Amino acid sequence: MGVISFVLLLGGLVFYAGGSVGIIRFPDVYSRLHPAGKLDTMGLFMTMSGMALYVLSDWSISALLTALKIMLIVVFIFITSPTATHAMADAGMRAGLVHWSRK
């Protein structure tokens, strides 16, 4: 289980790095929201899943409850992150932020 946990943690690190580069490189607020959302959901899903598997390496009730709490955090983020991203895009539209265009 240690190898699978390591691979998931490494995959989450790749998503965090890619999302960070996307946030820096994209030209406007709206296009930056896309990597920010992916960074939140997939990066967190992979790292937290890796941590939950690592915690489950010893079989006990406390390890099982800790892994369950970790996965409940993932479910909460999966619900709130797209909602927050949409709310930020909507707030930008209402504030009058214009889309980037090549001139």
- pLDDT for 34: 87
> In this predicted model, what pLDDT tens digit does every residue of 47-101 receive, in sequence order?
999 999 999 988 899 999 999 999 999 999 989 988 998 999 899 999 988 888 8
Query: What token pair was written down for 73?
Result: 């955090």
- Domain membership of residue 88 (yes or no) is yes
> Domain for residue 56, yes or no?
yes
29 found inside a domain = yes
67 in any annotated domain: yes
Q: Determine the Cα–Cα distance for residues 51 and 44; give it in Å rounded to an integer.
A: 10
Please tell me the distance from the alpha carbon of residue 53 to that of residue 36, in angstroms, as a whole number. 25
The pLDDT value recorded for residue 25 is: 92
Total tally of structural domains belonging to the chain = 1
* Six token digits for residue 14: 């790749």
Q: Among candidates 4, 42, 36, 2, which has minimal Cα distance to 20?
A: 36
What is the per-residue pLDDT across 10-59, written as a single tens digit (0 to 9) for each? 999 999 999 899 889 998 888 888 888 888 889 999 999 999 999 998 88
Gap between the Cα atoms of 6 and 51, Å rounded = 9
Share of the chain above pLDDT 90, in %: 53
Residue 35 lies inside a defined structural domain of this protein: yes
* Res. 1: pLDDT tops 80: no
What angle do helix axes 44-55 and 2-25 make, rounded to 10 degrees? 160
Whole-prediction pTM value? 0.79
CA gap 91, 30 in Å, rounded: 11
Please report whether residue 80 resides in a domain. Answer: yes
Q: Determine, yes or no, domain membership for 6.
A: yes
Residue 29's domain comprises: 2-95
Residue 44 within a domain? yes
